[in-house]
Chains A and B, each alone.
Chain A
Amino acid sequence: MTELSYIEAIKTAMYEEMERDEDVFIIGEDVGAKGGVFRATEGLYDTFGSDRVIDAPLAESGIVGVGIGAAMYGMRPIAEIQFADFILPAVNQIVSEAAKIRYRSNNDWNCPITIRAPYGGGVNGALYHSQSLEAMFSNQPGLKVVIPSTPYDAKGLLKAAIRDNDPVLYFEHKRAYRLLKETLPEEDYVVPIGKADVKRTGEDITIITYGLCVHHSLQAAESLAEENIDVHVLDLRTVYPLDQEAIIEAANKTGKVLLVTEDNKEGSVIGEVAAIIAEHCLFELDAPVKRLAAPDAPSMPYAHVLEKEFLITKEKIEHEARQLAHF
């Protein structure tokens, strides 16, 4: 048992998978000798060499494209996009190629690529280093989108992604990298893709969220417990395709649902969660489904005060949850 940070959990997952399976390799900007801008691949270059930890040019379409080609030939690439904000040049590769190849080839080909991309704000990253882009990829059948909220899930989900025979987009919250620490089991484990996880059970209101917002929600739940408000927290973990069963169960549990995302509100993943609840839970609902999300403004501001205003915080969740509980 060792205590690992979120980013160490990611690194360990890659290390263990590369040791386990020779077909696993990493490709990305500065992932080699430098060990990645966030140090996610630190030491891997020394251990596995330049053939398996490949520094790529600043061309995301190329990074993903090379990965897709290798994956179709049986390799298990981990393509790192330095910041999720930079993934946009690779959208065509991800959406039109990786996600569709199995369907397009009538099952002759598949594409077991994992694309890692640090997302989210709270690091004074402003426009190009703070975005949440999961919604953009969350209506592409053939693609899976996972976002771990804890070191345990980060490790288990990354392993599951690498072992998955189809493309998985793996968003990791950069603010979580060194914020979250957890003691992880030594033995090998995976966290199943497509399964949400109850992070806290409660009777009064349900929070459904994912990523770093899970951490904020759990903290808010702790404070609210002192006010006798018992919060149930469901971590989606996989935002596409959604775990409908778990969402329905969690919503039915309390009848009062708060959905939280760091993404802009309109068109976000939680809108889809709200739709599932609306379709299946009408007669269990005791309050309108509430969404807490970033404003529909074009980007995360740089100024610290404004960034904080833009971000989801423990206090904001607490406020919304309290209102819902008293409703």
Chain B
Amino acid sequence: MAKEKILMPKLGESVTEGTITSWLVKEGDHVQKYDPLAEVMTDKVNAEIPASFTGTISEITAQEGEVIAVHELIGYIETEENDDEVVETVENNEQQLEKNSEVDVADSTDHSMKNRYSPAVLKLASEHNIDLTTISGSGLGGRITRKDIRTLIEQPDKQNKAISSENQAASSAMKQPKVKNGHIEIPVTGVRKAIAANVTKSKQEIPHAWMTVEADVTGLVTYRNNIKDTFREREGYSLTYFAFFIHAVAKALREFPEINSTWQHDKIIHHQDIHISIAVANENELFVPVIKHVDDKSVQGIAKEITQLAYKARNNQLLPEDMEGGTFTVNNTGTFGSIASMGIINHPQAAILQVESIVKRPVIINDMFAARDIVNLSLSLDHRILDGLICGRFLARIKELVESIDETASLV
């Protein structure tokens, strides 16, 4: 038997840490090489950690909800090779375990001191950003001792089993919304936390300004309605309006490079590539995968890519590369029936376009009422980089592009 470490893998170029969202195995489980061990989430992606060895999970040291740096230890696996030295370590650990459990037995029923923190514990916890509610203590009445914290800080890998298994219990309990006097507490973790951090950064740093134009897409609607069923039969996926809008936006971005840019304090970067981020949500989470080089792609190619990315997002298969490199975001708010919204810019981009719901409206054409399909296109812009004039022209260009589509078009 040899004892191997399970480490947090590197899940993307700029990813330095990940949160264990859930363990898919427990201690004592036998796993094959490449079996998924745990689900992990970064601010970019959700992924699974595969087993690097065939063997038995001997110890889990990282708890669910815990943020772990890349290459940090999250557990141990016993492989089937022989290694005397390691056996010794294992025995030591077992001895330690026994001792710890003796102490624990004495206090196991009493948790009265669990939330009584000494000054030393509070100081260490705040210095090292440790959430004390996720730790259970070895002290009297479940009290967290200074030594518990120091052990955690200095040797996270040597944390004893008694503590980590209690932690697991604690963290799974934490996932359940807590009901107190009628209100419900939901701990902020994972993607929700990442979303919160990103939008806060963006909203606080970027001076947002807003602008909306109305586009008459009656032609587009007619055209799409004409071909959507045959398209679906032929290609196996839907031709959405969204693909047409992204296609138009990419074209307009090529003409207005100012919009496809990033603020860098002492300079503004105009990006050569046009990579469009699209927002894809499932029940709880929001992902922003990227369609690369959109200006090289046809409406059909874009539609296909949207379908693929959306499928990956729903099934937690998005890779870090899928999320990287966006230079502009198009948000399909129309899906929700929205007709006006103010998007928060996807930092560090310069603008975000909200494509609202297409609604039939009475409009006046040549002094006569007509029933037309109308869509609002709402742009949020970084006013440090962009002004109303350029954005107005940009929106007008998109409007022109989408309004020019009619039943005679041959885009797909």
Q: Which A residues fall within an 8 A CB radius of B? A: 203-204, 228, 254-256, 282-287, 326-327
Q: Are A287 and B147 in contact (CB under 8 A)?
A: no
Secondary structure at the B interface, as helix, strand, loop or mixed, is helix
1/0 per residue B117-141: CB within 8 Å of A? Answer: 0111101000000000000000110
Establish whether residues B121 and A286, one from each chain, have CB atoms under 8 Å apart when the complex forms.
yes
Query: How many A-B contacts are there with CB distance less than 8 Å?
Result: 36
Contacts of B119 in A (CB 8 A): 282-286
Binding site for A on B (CB under 8 A): 99, 103, 106-107, 118-121, 123, 139-140, 143, 145-147
Given known pairs A228-B99, A255-B146, A286-B145, the reply for A327 and B120 (CB within 8 Å) is no
Which residue of chain A lies nearest to B113 when distances are taken between CB atoms in the complex? A327
A-B contact pairs, 6 of them (CB 8 A): A256-B146, A282-B119, A283-B119, A286-B146, A326-B103, A326-B106
For residue B111, give the distance in angstroms from its CB to the closest CB of chain A. Answer: 15
Residues A284 and B120 in contact, CB atoms below 8 Å apart: yes
In the complex, are the beta carbons of B140 and A326 less than 8 A apart? yes
Residues of chain B lying within 8 A (CB to CB) of residue A326: 103, 106-107, 139-140
B99:A283 contact, CB within 8 angstroms: no
CB of B116 to closest CB in A, whole Å: 10
- How far, in whole Å, are A285 and B120 apart by their CA atoms in the complex? 5
A228 to B97, CA, bound (A): 13
Residue of A nearest to B144 (CB): A286
With A326-B103, A327-B139, A327-B140 given, is the CB distance from A285 to B118 under 8 Å?
A: yes
Task: Tell me whether A327 and B145 are in contact in the complex, defined as CB-CB below 8 angstroms, given that A283-B119, A284-B123 are known contacts.
Answer: yes
Extra contacts besides A286-B146, A326-B139 (12): CB < 8 Å? A228-B99, A254-B146, A255-B118, A282-B119, A284-B120, A284-B146, A285-B118, A285-B120, A286-B147, A326-B103, A326-B106, A327-B139
A327-B143 in contact (CB<8A): yes
Cα distance A290–B30 when bound, in Å?
Answer: 49
Complex formed: what's the CA distance from A7 to B359 in Å?
A: 104
> Which residue of the partner chain B has the closest CB to A324?
B140
Q: Which residues of B contact A286 (CB under 8 A)?
A: 118-121, 145-147
CA distance A255 to B118 in the complex (A): 9
Residues of B within 8 A of A256 (CB): 146
CB distance from A290 to the nearest CB of B (A): 13
A204 near B120 (CB under 8 angstroms)? no
Closest 5 CB pairs of A and B: A286-B146, A286-B120, A286-B118, A255-B120, A283-B123
Determine the residue in chain A with the shortest Cβ distance to B99. A228
> In the assembly, what is the distance between CA of A228 and CA of B99, in Å?
9
Instruction: Give the CA-CA distance A284 to B119 in the complex, in Å.
Output: 6
Which chain B residues lie closer than 8 Å to A285 at the CB level?
Answer: 118-120
